[in-house]
Structure 1
């Protein structure tokens, strides 16, 4: 008679078996393709309590078990001012899934609650600073965040629609304010739908943002509230009904950017104008493929 698996064992096995194609393989693909982890790394996996950061923690544990190139992990939780029941949910899930978390406190919610302009941006920036500082204190050289494929697409579209810029979310990033520290996004190729499916399969309940803006969105009844990200998420959901590959097309677009078709772009913070590039002897060699296609239409 076989022994009944614990919730931790079931969650771990489902990542490798049930969701191998939709979660494990894309996770490994991102780690290898973008060279996110190196032997000897000490990585702080930053856990917010949501589904994305928790599944990231489990994937990193599995990778650590199976890799031939050893690295260290620290599982770090920053409490920005959660209600006691929300903090308890994080602690309970960590215990249930076998994630040895280190919790430290901050006052981010108290600071951002009175800010009217871009409070979510300010919250994210402050969180990042706290996480870098704590990770460095714990001897880490990298922090791992739970941004996934869908976040990359939504961020790109949101920046274009509301920020007036075509800007993607890179798979890794060197910190400007914390020398020697690097941010990595191992879920870069994992779709959010797959993460939700894994969560439901294992009957898990995770924390949402737990701030007043999330509460407002829930109260709005349309899933949007004042959140532009949620608005873009719903727009993409509608567009996928007629074009199921729209997210894949956007991702391919930011991976194969045709700079010679743009009227201008920035590189390392320096703006390059169309006339400057057009008159450069090595830049424009003639008609681009996109022009040929448009003329054929």
Structure 2
């Protein structure tokens, strides 16, 4: 399945039906009054957040959505039928903007949350509405109003409590595979991960916490280099960042600073988000080198440093306990 996290679509609400001019024609009513019904309202367009979707793929090829028009009024004071509303399902975490004005229209976070994005037009008034003492036989009616039309931009921001960040080949995908049931593609070359991967990690309480493996962070990611600019927004909602550093890299400390600079440059308070630092692949180092590297990295940051191996499982439980304590200090 393709991972599509941005889309622009046109939404066109239904037009209201026209009111009509009609008069009563009854056998024993010699002076029948106006009886033209109102037009029905046009259908509106709503977005609805659902848990079964994880991508905006449904909007990849369909770019125009239109609700039903209201029907014109009828004789005998009959109101026209309303146009059918249109409900479009989107993943939870979808942010909606007006593509023309850039106005934020809504943020669909909770399941079944609904957002009106295009209001249907009102139905026109029939001639019965214009009956008065001065005008006992009005011969005019109003047309229905056009439905709202706009172009909207959809952006998906994944809903995860913990975002796993780091340079390519730091072992993020291997880590999320070790902690959860997620099975991302893993290989020994940069940018194996081209889409965010979600995994649910079981807490000691039995509840699950969603972890997101965020790909594509390289130096200059905040300007659009690599894949970072496309995916940095997926960690905007996270409560905690798990920064994975490759212990076997040429300069792990420099790699740590590269990511920190990217978070700072991107903004959205990401640099101030709580972080836990995981020095991965320690199984490839001897114990003395491990200790020296952890100490050197600890000297560069106020963040706690955990030496781990996503392959062997070394150090994962203490790191997880630190994560639970950070997310919810009440968890024992």
When normalised by structure 1's length, the TM-score is: 0.27
Looking at secondary structure, tell me which structure has more helix per residue. 1
By relative contact order (CA 8 Å, sep 6+), the higher-ranking structure is: 1
TM-score for both structures, normalised by structure 2: 0.25
- The structure number with the bigger radius of gyration is 2
